[in-house]
C-alpha cells in the first residue's frame, strides 16, 4: 500500500512518464488502482506522515507549539470533530483553514455532482443514476484540496435551508417532478461540502433550533429535509469556533450538540512578548516603500506589544471580550505610518519610529478594547493613553534601573551618587522644560534631547555600543519612563509633548488649561 498522500504523486509520475492525463473516467480510475478513503482517515494518514518527517502540521501558528497544536493533532488522529473555544483574535479560524494542508492534493469526483460524489461510492441520486447509465465511461473530475473547504459565519438569520437544504419548486417545475422526488431538493452548504472540511464560526450565534438540525449529521451522518426520508452519509470533518458562552448575551451552544463534538480545544493569547512580537511582524502589512524609509527598533516593537498585555490585565477593559492579537498588528502599522507621515512633512529621506510617534497608535487601541463601566466613565481615549503609559512603565525597567527600587534607598548617605536619574531630575527642578513637537525633525529632536543634563551620560553608561539614533531613542525612553514613575511631569498637548519638573506641574493645576493624570503619572491635556 502506498504511503498516505502518495497516490497523487503516483498519478503525476505516471503523467510525466506515459504522457497521459489523470484518469478521466471511472474505468480509468479503477485501472489506476485508486482506493477511496474517508476524509478523517485521509487527514489522519497525512498527519502521521508529517509527524514522522518532523514537519510542522500548522506552520506560521506561533505560541501554540506546546498547547493548542498538540491538542489539535491528537483530535485529528482520533478522527474527531473539533470545537475551538477562545476569545477573539486567537487564530481559531486560521487553525481550521490550515487543516486543508493535511488533505491529499487531489481527489476524484463524479463530473457535475453537487455533493462531490466519490466515483467508487456515489452518494447522491444524480451520481448513482449517472454511473448506472454510463458505467466505466462515467466522466470524473479532480478536486484540489484548496477547494475542499467550506465556511459559514453563524448569525441569527441563518436557516436550516442555508445549511442543509430545502425543496426547490422551480427545479420541480422545470424537471416536471413532484415534491416527493429527491431530485427537487436544493442542497445547502453542508451537503455541498461533502468530502471537505466545513467550519461554522461563532457557533453560539446560531439559533438553538438550527443547532438541533446538526445533531443527525454529526452522529448518524444523515440529513432531514422537510418530510423526506433522506439518508446522505456525508463525509465531512466539522470544525466549530466559539467565544466563551458567558460573553455578552449572544446565546450558547446547546448541550446535546456539545456532546456530539468529540474534542473541545481551548485557545489562548500569546504568553510572552517574544511570541506576540513574532506574530505581529508576521502579520503586519508594511509596504516595502515604508520599510525602506522608516526604521522601527526592537524597543518600540516591544512597547507596542506591551500595550496589548497591559490591556489584557487592565481593570478598565472587559476581559470576557478579550483583547485581540489584531491590536498590536494594527498599532504596529499605525506607528510606522505615523513616522512616515512625519518624515514626508519634514522632507526626510529616512527616519525612525520615536516613542512620541506612539500617540498615533491610540486609534488602533480604542477600537479594539471593550470597556467596563469604569472605563466608559474614564473615556476610551484616556484609557488608551493610560495603557500606553503603563506599557512604557513596564518596559522601561527592562532597559534601565527601577526608580521604585531607588526610592527605597532614601535616607541613606550618598543618595545622589546611587541614583542615576538625579542629574536629569535636577535639570528639570531648575525650571527647565523640554517641548518635543510631534512633527519635529530627527535632527532637531536629537539636539533637544542632548540639552538635558545627565541624559546622554546615563545612556552611554548603560549602552556603550549604541549609535547616535539608538542613543537618542533611549534618551527619549528615559524621559517617558521617569514621567511614568512620577519623577518628572509629562503633558500631551496639541501638537507637542511637554516635559517639566513635577512640582511646577502640580502648582499649575489650577491654571486655565485643564489636565488629568492617572495613578501611574501618565497624563494627557488638551483633549
- Secondary structure percentages of the chain, helix, strand, coil, to 5: 50, 15, 40
3-state secondary structure of 285: coil
> Measured between alpha carbons, how far is 69 from 59 in angstroms, rounded to an integer?
10
DSSP labels for 350-419? Answer: -EE--GGGGGGGHHHHHTT--B-HHHHHH-HHHHHHHHHHHHHHHHHTTTS--HHHHHTTTTSTTHHHH-
> Measured between alpha carbons, how far is 404 from 92 in angstroms, rounded to an integer?
41
How does DSSP classify residue 317? B
Among the listed residues 352, 365, 364, the one whose alpha carbon sits nearest the alpha carbon of residue 290: 352
Asked if residue 357 belongs to a domain, the reply is yes
- The secondary structure element, H or E, covering residue 344 is helix 326-345
Q: Are residues 284 and 334 in the same domain?
A: yes
Domain that holds residue 216: 36-103+148-266
Among the listed residues 390, 368, 389, 395, the one whose alpha carbon sits nearest the alpha carbon of residue 297: 395
Q: Are residues 340 and 433 in the same domain?
A: no
Q: Are residues 170 and 72 in the same domain?
A: yes
Walk along the chain (527 residues) and give the pLDDT tens digit of each residue.
344 344 444 344 343 333 347 899 999 999 999 999 999 999 999 999 999 999 999 999 999 999 999 999 999 999 999 999 999 999 999 999 999 999 999 999 999 999 999 999 998 888 999 999 999 999 999 999 999 999 999 988 899 889 988 877 777 777 777 666 677 788 889 999 999 999 999 999 898 888 988 888 887 766 777 766 677 888 999 999 998 755 445 678 888 998 999 999 999 999 999 999 999 999 999 999 999 999 999 999 999 999 999 999 999 999 888 899 999 999 999 999 999 999 999 999 999 999 999 999 999 999 899 999 999 999 999 999 999 999 999 999 999 999 988 776 655 545 545 789 999 999 999 999 999 999 999 999 999 999 999 999 999 999 999 998 999 999 999 999 999 999 999 998 888 999 999 876 555 544 333 333 444 444 444 33
Which grid coordinates are listed for 176? 416536471
3-state secondary structure of 438: coil
Phi then psi for 505, rounded to 5 degrees? Answer: -65, -40
Angle subtended at Cα 280 by Cα 244 and Cα 102, rounded to the nearest 5 degrees: 70
Q: What is the CATH number of the domain that holds 160?
A: 3.40.50.300
**What is the structure's pLDDT at 524?**
42
Q: Are residues 243 and 300 in the same domain?
A: no
**What is the structure's pLDDT at 186?**
83
Asked if residue 238 belongs to a domain, the reply is yes
Q: Looking at the 3D structure of the chain, how many domains does it have?
A: 3
Q: In angstroms, how far is CA 19 from the centroid of its own chain?
A: 45
3-state secondary structure of 110: strand
Contacts of 117 (CB under 8 A, 6+ apart): 109, 110, 123, 124, 126, 127, 194
> Measured between alpha carbons, how far is 518 from 389 in angstroms, rounded to an integer?
9
> Measured between alpha carbons, how far is 402 from 487 in angstroms, rounded to an integer?
12
> Measured between alpha carbons, how far is 27 from 474 in angstroms, rounded to an integer?
73
Asked if residue 410 belongs to a domain, the reply is no
Length of the chain: 527
Q: Do the beta carbons of residue 490 and residue 483 sit within 8 Å?
A: yes
Domain boundary among 213, 242, 266: 266
Q: What is the CATH number of the domain that holds 325?
A: 1.10.8.80
416527493: which residue's cell? 180
Q: Are residues 476 and 361 in the same domain?
A: no
Q: In angstroms, how far is CA 344 from the centroid of its own chain?
A: 31
* Distances, alpha carbon 161 to alpha carbons 150, 157, 165, 218, in Å: 16, 11, 4, 17
Q: Are residues 165 and 84 in the same domain?
A: yes
Q: Do the beta carbons of residue 353 and residue 380 sit within 8 Å?
A: no
Q: Are residues 177 and 192 in the same domain?
A: yes
- The secondary structure element, H or E, covering residue 160 is helix 160-163
> Measured between alpha carbons, how far is 387 from 368 in angstroms, rounded to an integer?
13
**What is the structure's pLDDT at 35?**
92
> Measured between alpha carbons, how far is 105 from 101 in angstroms, rounded to an integer?
8
Q: Are residues 282 and 391 in the same domain?
A: yes
Q: What is the phi-psi region of residue 401: left when phi exceeds 0, alpha when psi lies from -120 to 50, beta otherwise?
A: beta
Domain boundary among 396, 411, 443: 396
Domain boundary among 266, 283, 310: 266
Asked if residue 138 belongs to a domain, the reply is no
Q: What is the pTM of this model?
A: 0.85
Angle subtended at Cα 491 by Cα 319 and Cα 463, rounded to the nearest 5 degrees: 85
Asked if residue 85 belongs to a domain, the reply is yes
What count of other Cβ atoms lies within 10 Å of the Cβ of residue 49?
A: 15
**What is the structure's pLDDT at 244?**
79
Asked if residue 464 belongs to a domain, the reply is yes
Asked if residue 67 belongs to a domain, the reply is yes
Q: Do the beta carbons of residue 5 and residue 57 sit within 8 Å?
A: no
Q: Are residues 450 and 518 in the same domain?
A: yes
Q: Are residues 306 and 438 in the same domain?
A: no
**What is the structure's pLDDT at 503?**
76
Q: Are residues 248 and 292 in the same domain?
A: no
**Which residue(s) pair with 140 in the sheet?**
110
Q: In what order do the strands lie in the sheet with 434-437?
A: 434-437, 496-500, 489-493
**CB-side exposure of 323: number of CA atoms within 13 Å?**
29
Contacts of 176 (CB under 8 A, 6+ apart): none
Q: Are residues 75 and 196 in the same domain?
A: yes
Asked if residue 142 belongs to a domain, the reply is no
Amino acid at each position: 500500500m502506498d504511503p498516505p498522500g502518495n497516490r497523487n504523486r503516483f498519478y503525476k509520475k505516471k503523467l510525466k512518464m506515459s504522457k497521459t492525463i489523470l484518469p478521466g473516467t471511472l474505468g480509468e480510475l479503477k485501472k489506476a488502482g485508486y482506493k477511496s478513503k474517508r476524509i478523517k482517515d485521509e487527514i489522519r494518514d497525512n498527519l502521521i506522515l508529517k509527524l514522522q518527517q518532523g514537519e510542522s502540521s500548522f506552520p506560521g501558528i506561533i505560541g501554540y507549539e506546546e498547547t493548542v497544536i498538540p491538542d489539535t493533532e491528537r483530535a485529528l488522529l482520533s478522527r474527531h470533530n473539533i470545537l475551538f473555544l477562545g476569545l477573539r483574535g486567537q487564530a481559531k479560524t486560521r487553525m481550521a483553514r490550515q487543516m486543508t494542508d493535511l488533505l491529499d492534493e487531489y481527489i476524484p469526483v463524479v463530473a457535475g455532482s453537487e455533493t462531490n460524489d466519490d466515483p467508487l461510492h456515489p452518494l447522491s441520486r444524480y451520481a448513482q443514476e449517472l454511473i448506472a447509465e454510463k458505467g466505466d465511461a462515467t466522466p470524473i473530475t479532480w478536486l484540489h484540496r484548496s477547494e475542499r473547504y467550506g465556511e459559514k459565519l453563524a448569525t441569527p438569520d441563518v436557516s436550516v435551508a442555508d445549511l442543509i437544504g430545502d425543496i426547490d419548486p422551480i427545479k420541480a417545475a422545470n424537471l416536471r417532478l413532484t415534491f416527493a422526488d429527491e431530485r427537487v431538493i436544493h442542497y445547502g452548504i453542508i451537503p455541498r461540502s461533502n468530502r471537505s472540511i466545513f467550519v461554522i464560526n461563532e457557533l453560539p450565534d446560531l439559533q438553538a433550533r438550527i443547532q438541533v438540525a446538526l445533531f443527525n449529521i454529526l452522529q448518524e451522518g444523515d440529513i432531514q429535509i422537510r418530510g423526506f426520508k433522506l439518508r446522505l452519509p456525508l463525509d465531512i470533518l466539522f470544525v466549530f469556533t466559539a467565544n466563551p458562552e458567558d460573553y455578552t448575551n449572544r446565546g450558547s451552544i446547546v448541550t446535546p450538540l456539545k456532546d456530539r463534538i468529540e474534542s473541545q480545544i481551548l485557545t489562548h493569547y500569546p504568553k510572552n512578548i517574544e511570541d506576540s512580537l513574532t506574530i505581529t511582524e508576521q502579520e503586519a502589512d508594511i509596504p516595502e516603500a515604508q520599510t525602506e524609509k522608516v526604521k522601527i527598533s526592537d524597543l518600540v516593537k516591544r512597547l507596542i506589544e506591551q500595550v496589548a498585555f497591559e490591556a489584557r490585565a487592565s481593570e478598565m477593559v472587559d476581559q470576557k471580550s478579550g483583547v485581540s492579537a489584531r491590536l498590536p498588528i494594527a498599532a504596529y502599522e499605525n506607528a510606522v505610518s505615523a513616522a512616515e507621515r512625519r518624515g514626508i512633512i519634514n522632507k526626510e529621506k529616512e527616519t525612525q519610529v520615536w516613542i512620541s510617534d506612539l500617540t498615533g497608535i491610540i486609534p488602533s487601541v480604542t477600537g479594539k478594547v471593550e470597556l467596563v463601566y469604569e472605563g466608559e466613565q474614564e473615556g476610551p481615549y484616556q484609557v488608551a493613553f493610560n495603557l500606553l503609559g503603563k506599557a512604557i512603565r513596564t518596559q522601561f525597567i527592562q532597559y534601565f534601573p527601577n526608580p521604585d527600587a531607588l526610592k527605597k534607598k532614601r535616607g541613606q548617605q550618598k543618595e545622589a551618587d546611587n541614583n542615576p536619574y538625579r542629574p536629569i531630575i535636577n535639570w528639570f527642578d531648575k525650571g527647565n522644560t523640554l517641548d518635543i513637537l510631534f512633527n519635529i525633525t530627527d535632527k532637531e529632536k536629537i539636539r533637544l534631547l542632548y540639552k538635558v543634563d545627565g541624559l546622554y551620560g546615563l545612556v552611554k553608561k548603560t549602552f556603550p555600543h549604541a549609535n547616535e539614533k539608538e542613543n537618542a531613542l533611549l534618551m527619549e525612553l528615559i524621559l517617558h519612563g521617569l514621567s511614568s514613575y512620577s519623577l518628572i511631569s509629562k503633558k500631551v498637548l496639541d501638537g507637542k509633548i511637554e516635559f517639566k519638573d513635577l512640582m511646577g506641574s502640580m502648582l499649575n493645576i489650577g491654571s486655565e488649561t485643564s489636565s488629568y493624570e492617572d495613578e501611574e503619572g501618565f497624563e494627557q491635556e488638551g483633549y
